[in-house]
Copies of this chain bind each other. A is one copy, B any other.
Amino acid sequence: TIYVVTPTYARPVQKAELVRLSQTLLHVRALHWVVVEDAPAPTALVGGLLAASGVPFTHLHAPTPPEIRRRPGDPPWLRPRGVEQRNRALQWLRDMRPPGEAAVVYFADDDNTYSLRLFEEMRSTRGVSVWPVGLVGGLRFERPLVAGGRVVGFHTAWKPERPFPLDMAGFAVALPLLRARPAARFDPAAERGYLESSLLGGLVTPAQLEPKADNCTQVLVWHTRTEKPKLRQEEQLQRQGRGSDPRIEV
Q: Which residues of A contact B (CB under 8 A)?
A: 12-13, 15-17, 19-20, 23-24, 26-27, 113-116, 132, 134-135, 137-141, 143, 155, 157-158, 217-219, 222-227, 229-234, 236-237, 243-245, 248-250
Contact = CB atoms under 8 A, between A and B. Distances in A.
Copies in the complex: 2
Nearest to A155: B244
Nearest to A138: B233
B139 A237 contact: yes
A106 to B, nearest CB: 16
A134 to B, nearest CB: 4
A137 to B, nearest CB: 6
Given A134-B250, A157-B233, A222-B13, A113 B19 contact: yes
A244 B139 contact: yes
Given A24-B23, A236-B157, A250-B135, A227 B226 contact: yes
A15 B222 contact: yes
Contacts of A16: 113, 134-135, 222, 224
Nearest to A217: B248
A225 B227 contact: yes
30 contacts: A12-B135, A12-B140, A13-B222, A19-B115, A20-B113, A23-B116, A27-B27, A132-B248, A134-B250, A138-B230, A138-B232, A139-B231, A139-B233, A139-B234, A139-B237, A140-B243, A140-B244, A140-B250, A141-B250, A155-B245, A157-B233, A157-B234, A157-B236, A157-B237, A158-B233, A218-B248, A222-B250, A223-B229, A225-B227, A225-B229
B138 A234 contact: yes
Contacts of A141: 244, 248, 250
Contacts of A139: 231, 233-234, 237, 244
A245 B139 CA distance: 11
**Central interface residue in A134, A135, A143, by most chain B CB within 10 Å:** A135
8 closest Cβ pairs, A-B complex? A138-B233, A157-B233, A16-B222, A16-B113, A140-B244, A225-B227, A135-B229, A134-B250
A155 to B, nearest CB: 7
A229 to B, nearest CB: 4
A152 to B, nearest CB: 15
